[in-house]
Structure 1
Amino acid sequence: MTDLLAAFGDRVLLAHAHPDDETISTGGTIAALLTRGADVLVVTGTRGERGEVVPGPLHELEGTSALPAHRERELAAALSALGGPGHAWLGEERRRRYVDSGMAWGPDGFAVAADDAPTEALSLAALDEVVGDLSILATAFRPTSIVSYDVRGGYGHPDHVRMREAAGMVAEHLGLPLFEIVEPRVDDGPGEAALDLIALGSLPAKRAAMAAHATQLTLDGDDFVLSGGQRHPVARVERYRRAG
C-alpha cells in the first residue's frame, strides 16, 4: 500500500460534483489523511438538487426545493464524521451557485446528460468559468495535489466530467500532480497506468459518513444501496492513478 503523505503530500484538494461523492469514493482517504496531520479541502460542485432520494420517509424530499438544504446538512454531518476537513462550494467566492445537471442512463450502462438540464447546470457552464472558480479555491488553499474523477467521470455523470476537466486544467496550471479515482463500480484496474492503493484503517469513519447521506444511500451490512436500488460493496481500499 502506498503511503498517503508520500503520494498526495500534506495539503490535498478533492474536487467532487455532488454531496456523497466525497464519501463513497474518497471518504477513507480523507479520514486517513486527517489522522496523519494533513490539511484537506473538499470542493463540492452542486448540492445534488436533481438526484433521486432513497425510498422511505425522506423520499418526499425528491424534486422539492427543500432537498438542496437537506443535502447540505447531510454533507456537513458526513464531513464531520470523516474528521472535519475544510469544505467549499464551487463558485462561492463570487456568489455563483452551480446546479446539479441531472442525468439519464445510456445503453452501455454509463450515465449521459439529461435532456432537461437547467441553465444553471454545472455541466452547461462555460469551462473557463468552472476552471476559474476552482482555481480561486486552489490558489488560496495551496494544495500539494488535486484528486478528482477519471476523464469519463467514473460512471459518466456529466457533472463529474466537468469537475474532472476543471481539476485537470487547474492542476496543470499550478504544476500539481493530479490523481484520478479508480471507480470500482466501473473500472477493474489501472491498465498500463500507475496505480496507488490506499488502505482503509478508517473504515468506521467512512461508514459513519455514508450513513449521514441518508437521502442518497442505505448501508446494508458490507454493502450500500443507492436510491435507484444499485447495490455495491463499501470499498475497503480506495484506488487512484496518477494522471499528471
Structure 2
Amino acid sequence: MSDSLLVFGSRPVFMHAHPDDESISTGGTIALLARRGAQVTILTGTRGERGEVVPGDLHELEGTAALGPHRVGELASALRELGAPAHAFLGTAPARARDRAEREYSDSGMRWGADGFAEAAEDASPTSLSLAALDEVVDDVLAAATAGRPTAIVSYDALGGYGHPDHVRMHAAGVEAARRLGVAFFAIVEPRVAGTDDDHDDELIEVDLLRFDGLAAKTRAMAAHRTQLTVENGSFVLSGGQRHPIGAVERFRRLF
C-alpha cells in the first residue's frame, strides 16, 4: 500500500450524503484501498431523491417517488466497480442505533446562493438529514462503525465541499463520531471549489489515481450514476450542463 493510502489504515469509513458522492469525490481511493485488502465501509446519508436528473431517457424520474429507489440501484452498481466495500444507509441496520426504530433520512434539497455555494432549500422535509438531531445521526454512524473497529473516518470539510446542507450534516456527524471513537478524521478537498486547498499544504494527502491505477474503476463507478451525470472523454457533465474533469488525484486533509 502506498504511503498516501496508509494514512487511512486498514478499516476506513467513508461518509457521504447522496449516491454518486462516493464515486465523484473518493471513488479512486476507495477502489485502491479495497484492492489492497482494506476493509472499507461506506455510509450514505440519503437516497438522493431530490436530485436533478440529466437530460435523456431517465429525466422523467426527476421529482418522482421512483428516483430514490433508482439511485439506490445505481449506487449498488457503482460499489461493485469500487471493489464491493461494505455499505449501509444511515437510519437502517447496521447503521441504526439499537434503541431506535429504523428510518430513512430524506434528501434535504438545496438551492444556489448568491455566493455560488449551495444553501438550504426552503421546503426541506422535517425528515431530512440536515434537520435531524446531530446526536441521532452520530449514534447511527457509531452503530455501523464500532463493530468494525474503524481506523479513520473520511467525509466533507466544514463547508460540505460546496455548501449542500446534507454534506454539512455528514461532516458534523463524522467529526463527532471520529472524536468519540478516538480515530483520525480526514476532510475531502473538493476539486470543484476554487481555493479549498490553498492553506496548510503540509497537511494535504494526495492519492494519485494514475500512478496506482485507480482512475478506470472510479470512472466506471461514476458512469453507473446515470441519473446524475454523464461521463464523456475524461470529463463528467452534471444535470445543469456543468462540465468537470474526472479527478485523477483525490485530495484529503487530516483535521485531527
Is residue 124 of structure 1 aligned with residue 136 of structure 2?
A: no
Q: Percent identity?
A: 62
Scaled by the length of structure 1, the TM-score of the pair is 0.97
For 1:114 and 1:187, the matched residues in 2 are separated by: 23
> Where has structure 1 moved over 6 Å in runs of 4 or more?
none
Aligned equivalent of 2:199: 191
For 2:246 and 2:6, the matched residues in 1 are separated by: 25
Query: Shift in Å at residue 5 of structure 1?
Result: 4.1
Partner deviation per Cα, 1:155-194 (whole Å, 9 max, x = no partner) = 0000000000000000001100000000010144240251
Query: Shift in Å at residue 199 of structure 1?
Result: 1.1
Any residues of structure 2 matched to 1:1-244 within 5 Å, and which? 3-93=3-93, 94=96, 95-188=102-195, 189-192=197-200, 194-200=203-209, 201-244=213-256
Residue type of the alignment partner of 1:192: H
Residue type of the alignment partner of 1:227: S
Q: In the comparison of the two structures, how many residue pairs are matched?
A: 244
- Kept in 1, the 8 Å contact 2:5–2:207? The answer is no
For 1:44 and 1:119, the matched residues in 2 are separated by: 19
Query: Shift in Å at residue 230 of structure 1?
Result: 1.1
- Kept in 2, the 8 Å contact 1:123–1:162? The answer is yes
Task: Name the SS of the counterpart of 1:141 in structure 2.
Answer: coil
Query: Shift in Å at residue 2 of structure 1?
Result: 6.1
For 2:84 and 2:183, the matched residues in 1 are separated by: 24
Residue type of the alignment partner of 2:49: E
Aligned equivalent of 2:99: none
- Kept in 1, the 8 Å contact 2:110–2:118? The answer is yes
Residue type of the alignment partner of 1:180: A
Query: Shift in Å at residue 227 of structure 1?
Result: 1.0
Scaled by the length of structure 2, the TM-score of the pair is 0.93
Query: Shift in Å at residue 6 of structure 1?
Result: 2.1
Residue type of the alignment partner of 2:204: L
Partner deviation per Cα, 1:128-173 (whole Å, 9 max, x = no partner) = 1111111111112211000000000000000000000000000001
- Kept in 2, the 8 Å contact 1:182–1:190? The answer is no
- Kept in 1, the 8 Å contact 2:12–2:154? The answer is yes
- Kept in 1, the 8 Å contact 2:235–2:244? The answer is yes
Task: Give me the CA root mean square deviation.
Answer: 1.3
For 1:190 and 1:40, the matched residues in 2 are separated by: 29
Structure 2: where are the runs of 5+ without partners?
Answer: 97-101
Task: Name the SS of the counterpart of 1:128 in structure 2.
Answer: helix
- Kept in 1, the 8 Å contact 2:155–2:171? The answer is yes
For 2:148 and 2:65, the matched residues in 1 are separated by: 32
For 2:122 and 2:151, the matched residues in 1 are separated by: 38
